[in-house]
Amino acid sequence: MDVFGIRIPPVFSLLIWITLWEVAGQMDLAFILPPFSAVVLELFQLIARADFQSAAWLTFQSFVIGMGISIVAGITIGFLMGSSRMANSILGMWVNIFASAPLSSLVPVLMLLFGLGQTTIVVTVVLFSTWIIALDTFAGVNHISPSLSEMGKSFGASRRQLLTKVLFWAALPEILAGIRMGLIRAVKGIVIGQLLVSVVALGRLFRTFSDNFQFEEFWALTIVLFIFALLFSSAIGWLEQKVEYYANTRF
């Protein structure tokens, strides 16, 4: 959008929304909505709190472990799906079912089986993110020009060489896109898990804040999570840019 001939990037429209939030908060339009400025102030205090830091660290560890598992599992499943029509039709069915199902309904089951601690968070992350990674990996594998794998075979590539030197890199742009989506879903999964298990870590903080009508704190915590999700997603976006130079000219 241009104002007086100056280009204003789209992100700035968020400023308008934030202003609206601030105004609504100052005017006390809804008691659940404190002014944005108050939330921001609270945010800085929140980050400094010991209970927040330990909760966040715990959650972060589980997140990383879970993502590691789901990335490996998702890429493997995606390649398996691309390897034969039979594998595609069987695995594809299951992956698609779980990719669009309300996995949050499974979280109570996970809680029963794995307790209320870190294991559940890890399993939640794996459950929420694996399927989209598998689907996007498969899309990437499908996209690979057949002559690229023929070329590898014609020069004597073993199956392992073909996979690691050709196929993986050729599908990498889609794999990264899948990981980015998987990350976002994993964060959603963690939040849902924490909300349902409001006894430990971040869930407990959420519950405490909302029970005690501490809305500045509640929104601050929410924004922290939102920022966390966006930061991770941007990090993968940066990686995706690194491979962009060949993503569009694959032939």
Whole-angstrom distance, CA of residue 122 vs CA of residue 186: 10
Nearer to another protein, 83 or 161 (CB): 161
Among 38, 106, 116, 163, binds another protein (CB under 8 A): 106
Burial category of 76 from C-beta neighbours within 10 Å (exposed 0-12, middle 13-18, buried 19 and up): middle
Is residue 109 part of the contact set for another protein (CB under 8 A)?
A: yes
Whole-angstrom distance, CA of residue 151 vs CA of residue 138: 21
Measured from the Cβ of residue 207, the count of other Cβ atoms closer than 10 Å reads 16
Nearer to another protein, 56 or 172 (CB): 172
Measured from the Cβ of residue 57, the count of other Cβ atoms closer than 10 Å reads 11
Q: How many binding residues for another protein (CB under 8 A)?
A: 72
Minimum gap (Å) between residue 72 Cβ and another protein:
22
Whole-angstrom distance, CA of residue 66 vs CA of residue 108: 18
- Choose one: 4-12, 50-58, 61-69, 70-78; the region binding another protein (CB under 8 A): 4-12
Q: How many helices (H) and strands (E) does the chain have?
A: 11, 2
The pair of structure tokens assigned to 198 is: 């409001």
Is residue 8 part of the contact set for another protein (CB under 8 A)?
A: yes
Hey, is 138 helix, strand or coil? helix
Nearer to another protein, 58 or 223 (CB): 223
Is residue 4 part of the contact set for another protein (CB under 8 A)?
A: no
Is residue 208 part of the contact set for another protein (CB under 8 A)?
A: no
Is residue 199 part of the contact set for another protein (CB under 8 A)?
A: no
Among 56, 132, 177, 190, binds another protein (CB under 8 A): 190
Tell me which residues in 155-184 interact with another protein (CB under 8 A): 155-157, 161, 165-166, 169-170, 172, 184
